[in-house]
Chains A and B, each alone.
Chain A
Amino acid sequence: MPLQDHMQLISVDDHLIEHPRIWADRLPAKYRELGPHIVEVPRAKGGPPSQVWEYQCKTYPQIGLNAVAGKKPEEYGIDPSRFDEMLPGCYDPVQRLADMDLDGVEAALCFPSFPRFAGTVFLEGDDRDVALASVKAYNDFMLDEWCAAAPHRYIPLVILPLWDVDLAVTEVHRTFAKGAKTIAFPENPSPLGLPSIHTDHWEPLFSVAEDYDLPLSMHFGTSGVSPRPSPECPMAVSITLFSCNSMSALTDLLFSPVFHRHPKLKVALSEGGIGWVPYMLERADYVWERHRFYQNVNQERRPSELYFDHVYSCFIEDHHGLEARDEVGLDNILWECDYPHSDSNWPNSRKVAEQVFTKIPDEDVHKIVELNARRVFNFPRVEK
């Protein structure tokens, strides 16, 4: 059986739901009214009111990154919308551990929910002081409360004040000192109105991430845009194409100056799958071979070389990707289970993983489910 008992599953793409007191307990009193807090709004269909976040006078649903746009809170329609309807492991780190035990998962990297997966909610609102305090409070929660519940089982991911790169660097220094292991960064900052990765703007941030060996975790969707070929297309089209965001992010990175300027910087693409990676690398190399001479791209190193040195991709189930694992890079593949989103396989993630890895050699499986993640995120195993 390729997935052996001694191999620990590390999910590099899970999510947490922020409990109501994260900001209430941590923000200075003067910011509490504008800072994130829970309010109740009636449901269109009746029943107990929905609990939604209010931040700087705007309301946000518990989940559904863009559901707020153009909708009244009564129309959010996101379910569950009350904490007492959620699986407690969503918001309680101790309950989460018990759910992980049942699921056969040893450790997890958890992305935020209300702040969005890269904290981009805090780009909104006029009061930057409140925004900065809210970012810091989230990170303190992540480090002092969530991960502190089991430091060897939670990989600490922090968010940044993305509107000010100097503040972002300061927050990296602060959170690294407290144990941060990775930084959430938008898959593409440009659609958010932020400078692109082709400018010099992010240099100080990428430098400090490189110095501290903190990978940038880029979850798909964090650019705020989704693949939507036609205005009328069903959501199934966008869902099918979500990994195109990761393809776009990767290609943009490989032809940018980022990895040439930061030879030790690491990027983890979250939830994008892996089956497309060999084609994209082949295509990028083809373009580089023929078109690099007249463009502002590095002339020395192929895009695929940069990928293997810098980029990590993850999957839940991806048979094409696993069959082509040598071309994806055995050292570049990570595993995820996406708890507590309803398309996760909980409570059978380990059982499903056993089936997924049936035909894969033991040593490859061990790298994919555990060893690569421990190396990339500097998260050594703690023997019990």
Chain B
Amino acid sequence: MSGGPVAPIPPHTVRGASDWDDEDLLTVAEASERLAEEINAARRRVRQAEEVLGDEDSLAVGAVHVAGLAAERKRLQELIRAAQRIQAAAADGPR
């Protein structure tokens, strides 16, 4: 059934000069920017949640906000730790 080994056409003879694949990689710099934006956004949300909670009269609604605030604080800590982790790992990357 098998036709045995074949001799492929060298790809550069059949392709155009342009890349088909525009995809590029997340750089450390780009990832850091994304994380910095996320950290700032998370800090804003934490602050807003703290303000709402401070003004909250209803205990029932307050419980929802407490849970939300805890989640935002947890996410903030995750993001900060990720930024530190990536910085350290990049400094230790292959040379």
Which residues from chain A sit less than 8 Å from chain B, CB to CB?
Answer: 17, 19-21, 62-70, 78-80, 83-92, 95, 98-99, 102, 120, 123-124, 128, 162-167, 191-195, 199-201, 203-204, 221, 224-226, 228, 231, 235, 238-239, 242, 338-344, 346-348
Contacts and interface: CB of A to CB of B under 8 A. Distances in A.
Interface stretch (B16-24, B44-52, B53-61, B62-70): B16-24
Given A85-B28, A95-B89, A235-B22, A204 B1 contact: yes
B94 A194 contact: no
Contact of A342 (B2, B23, B90): B23
B11 A124 contact: yes
Contacts of A80: 24-25, 27-28
Contacts of A120: 11
SS class of chain A's interface: helix, strand, loop or mixed?
loop
26 contacts: A19-B94, A63-B21, A63-B25, A64-B19, A66-B16, A68-B12, A79-B27, A84-B28, A86-B93, A87-B28, A87-B31, A88-B28, A89-B86, A128-B5, A163-B6, A164-B4, A191-B14, A194-B6, A200-B3, A201-B3, A203-B2, A224-B15, A226-B16, A235-B19, A341-B24, A346-B31
B20 A84 contact: no
A137 to B, nearest CB: 17
SS class of chain B's interface: helix, strand, loop or mixed?
loop
Given A70-B17, A165-B2, A239-B22, A84 B94 contact: yes
Contacts of B27: 79-80, 85-87, 342
Interface residues of B, number: 45
B12 to A, nearest CB: 5
Contacts of B28: 80, 84-88
B5 A347 contact: no
Given A225-B20, A342-B23, A342-B24, A84 B10 contact: no
B48 to A, nearest CB: 17
A258 B75 CA distance: 48
Contacts of A203: 1-2
Given A66-B15, A194-B8, A204-B1, A87 B22 contact: no
Contact of A193 (B8, B16, B34, B86): B8
